[in-house]
Chains A and B, each alone.
Chain A
């Protein structure tokens, strides 16, 4: 075994899945399907439990910082499983030399965001490592939330059937391009800001008013295309998406055209898809649109019968194509 880990295995696409299957699942034996949060029923009630590490470069970017991501990301992983997020842990790996004022800013952001999301950060850990042993700051957050047993079906999507609708809460791609622009390794700057935000309030609003939510998932690494492919695989059905219905902000579209990126594959930190029955879809859409984080919500497609479990895109010009799972990081093209 002389193989080594490459960056592509962390991109959230097919290679990441393969790594999880071949290494982590092989030895840890997590149950199918792999969801954003584990659901535990033996603790005298039902709780959701999740963890996530944050290594974003740079640690400050338009629309947020690594601390905001660390709170929002974990809150969202809990919330999309149908749980009410309650408690978070936060572990910090700090590279020596990090200005204290940066750490303070980040921790203050985390406190503010936690308060806003109604969660408490109740335990944590701190390590400082030598220069070069990590990149400024890495944060790991874990979280637990309480899951109403009537919502246990949400994380697995097991009640989804053909004809159900896919709804998204807003435009895709902003986070990925905001970070890329801030990274400075590519010579452009943009006005695009990250969509980083906690979605639990929006989700709560939807679930209080509708009992027809069949599945939810936040769109992070790998973007909308990855989540829809994962969903198609889990429910063993196909998904049809209408490209024109997927909201994409103009600056994001423009930059994607320039770089050869497809916004459907770009990372987000404040977006989710909700699956609901066709008769419930308009109601859910209206509820989402009444929230600031769902103003541009849209029905983007539906679940269809398909033995190959493909995600099919009806393109903006009236054509049809497969929307596949990405293999690795999208690379800016040569020409």
Chain B
């Protein structure tokens, strides 16, 4: 038991990301309202961002912007002083993708609402089968 506990404490942020992601996935599959599904989708994508940012973190390191002391000639930049810049860079892309998908999905719901006057999936299905 204490093994498991220490395992969780050492990696709690990974556990958190999985829980957050599963909340999003559950909302995407089980919810009936389209907006709720889209919000679930956003949570799902945000969880991935949390995961990547956790990968890049290092203890006792600072943000990846060079300190002014290191900019002189002959100064050595120590990698352990800065957190991993690559994951932040990748997540910039992922954020943009999730924003784009979110915006587009919102535009679609506007279209659907204008056509059917509802965003509940079961009602939409009824309207379609008519």
Q: Do A and B bind each other?
A: no
Residues of B within 8 A of A (CB): none
